[in-house]
Structure 1
Amino acid sequence: MNYIQKIKRLYSLSENVNYGFSENQILDLEKTLNLKLPSKLKEYYLELGKEESLNYCFNRLLKPENEIGFSDDDFLVFYEENQNVAFWGIKKDDLLQENPPVYGNYDTIEQSDWEIETQTIENFFLLMAVFNGTLGGLQFNGNYFGEIDAAIVKSVEQNYTLVSEISRENQKTYTDEFYDVISLSFDQENNCTGAFIGSSDQERFDAILDHIDIDWSYLSYDDDEASDENEDED
């Protein structure tokens, strides 16, 4: 599967439906910027760019009209963190590449330089699909902040596949054929210190809960229970 197919499967998006901006909108953007977008960036905008749950539930894709543009130091900025404290972009010199690397600017007091985020645009969009999905974009999602037993981590490693292209030493993502995702956080001593999970399939989500038997900080089921309680009060 390519990255578009992986994302569509994870979010249960139809292969026969277009979720993107129009060709004219992208052509107008290219005319405004006086350049051709990298083909993989253009592909994502055309196929998935307007899907709300994927692109606008947490961190957000910048829209073609009046949002995408160059930073003062010549990065084409196309994605922003949900509180506007971080941005992601492509070096102007890399824009001729089909699938260039993506850099992040976290604009902290100590450092505001651009740092490599992913080696390709494809990997960046897959990374953000997982990140946004586990933080609310996927129908079933949850998170836990705290130490997780090594036996639970081993169970995840044995029963799910590592997504190596978007995993790092401090954040590793696992999946079962992209019907679900598990993202585990690690400290410098390789202790697991957090988990983020998500799926569009309730049975698969419940199977993750069986594998990671902890007192979750948040589950999307919590919202359903709160809604039911509010209805009972009314």
Structure 2
Amino acid sequence: MNYFEKIRHLYGIPENENFGLEESEIIALEKRLNIELPVTLRKYYLTLGSHEALNYAYNRLLRHEKVWVSQDGYLMFYEENQGVVSWGIKKEDLLLPDPPVYGNYSNDEANPDWHLEFPLEACLLMLAVYNGVLGGLLFNGNCLDAVGPEVVNYIKDNWQELEDISSSSQRIYTRDYAEMISLSFDKDQNCSGIFIGTNDRDRFNNMLDHLDIDWFYLSTEDMDDEDDDEEEEDE
């Protein structure tokens, strides 16, 4: 599968379904900024750019009228939900079909803190995973506390690490691009958090059965509460 197919598979988006912007909106964006979008980013906007769960569950793909160019020459197209981190592409790289993406880890435009992330296709998958485990996928959970080495080793042995979208501080694992695990690591490489997500309840239950974690949040608990409320209303 290519990166677009992996994203569609993870979110259950059929190949024949389009969740994109209108061509006219992309043209308006390019005219407004006097740029041409990279082929990959243009394709993403035109096919998946308006899918709510994928692009707006937590972090945000910038809508076409919100895309902007920073004062130091980056095309800014994605931002963290609180605006602390944002992602962009150098203007001189825009003609590359799959240019490198940089993350600015400062919300002060005058003093940016740029870090090289991944090529654009891989970065879009990474951002899709982050949004998925943080609410974009129907079944998701997290624990923002230390995760024991035995759990980390179990994950390493039973899920595939996606090295093309992993870093020393955030490692991502999958089974069949249908379930995702993201592990956070501190500077001493101790696991300091875990995020999981899938659109399949059986897969989710299986993950919970095999991961010995004191979860901070599980989406199924919200679902169960909603079911209880509906039953009370029916009585």
User: Following the alignment from structure 1 to structure 2, what is the Cα–Cα distance between the partners of residues 194 and 19?
Assistant: 32
Q: What residue is the counterpart of 2:13 in the other structure?
A: 13
CA–CA distance in structure 2, aligned partners of residues 121 and 68 of structure 1 = 16
1:120 aligned residue: 119
Q: Report how far residue 45 of structure 1 moved.
A: 0.5
Which contiguous aligned blocks of 4+ residues in structure 1 show a shift greater than 4 angstroms?
Answer: none
1:5-51 C-alpha deviation (Å, 9 max, x unpaired): 00111111111101111222212222222221110111110111000
- In the superposition, relative to structure 1, how do residues 24 and 81 fare at CA in structure 2: closer, same or farther (>3 Å)? same
Contact 2:169 2:186 in 1 (8 A): yes
Q: Does the 8 Å contact 2:183/2:195 carry over to 1? A: yes
Q: How does 1:1-234 map to 2 (within 5 A)?
A: 1-64=1-64, 66-107=65-106, 112-232=111-231, 234=233
Relative distance call for 1:204 and 1:117 in structure 2 (3 A) is farther
Deviations 1:104-145 (A, max 9, x none): 222257x94242342311111111101011010000000012
The root-mean-square deviation of aligned C-alpha atoms, in Å, is 1.7
TM-score by length of 1: 0.93
The answer to whether the Cα contact below 8 Å between 2:181 and 2:194 also exists between their aligned partners in 1 is yes
In structure 2, how many angstroms separate the alpha carbons of the residues matched to 1:119 and 1:132? 17
Cα gap change, 1:150 to 1:85, in 2 (>3 Å): closer
Task: Write the letter of the residue equivalent to 2:140.
Answer: N
1:232 positional shift: 4.9
User: C-alpha distance in 2, partners of 1:17/1:230?
Assistant: 34
Amino acid at match of 1:142: G
Structure 2 gaps, min length 5: none
Amino acid across the alignment from 2:225 = A
Per-residue deviation, residues 179-202 of structure 1 (Å, max 9, x unmatched)? 110011122332222100000111
Deviates more, 1:194-203 or 1:149-158: 149-158
Aligned length in residues: 232
Checking the alignment, whether the CA contact within 8 Å between 1:143 and 1:217 is kept in structure 2 is yes
- Supply the distance in 2 between the matched residues of 1:101 and 1:116 (Cα, whole angstroms): 11
Instruction: Confirm or deny: 8 A CA contact 1:103 1:114 kept in the other structure.
Output: no
- Partner Cα separation in structure 1 for residue 175 and residue 153 of structure 2: 15
Letter in 1 for 2:220: Y
Name the CA shift for 1:217/1:183 in 2 (closer, same or farther; >3 Å).
Answer: same
Contact kept, 8 Å, 1:106 with 1:112, in 2: the verdict is no
CA distance in 2, matches of 1:92, 1:58: 26
Q: Where do 5+ consecutive residues of structure 1 fail to align?
A: none
State the identity %.
47
Q: 1:50 is matched by which residue type in structure 2?
A: S
User: What CA distance in whole angstroms lies between the structure 2 residues aligned with 1:112 and 1:223?
Assistant: 41
Give the letter for the 2:25 counterpart.
Answer: Q
Q: Give the conservation status (yes or no) of the 8 Å contact 1:183–1:195.
A: yes
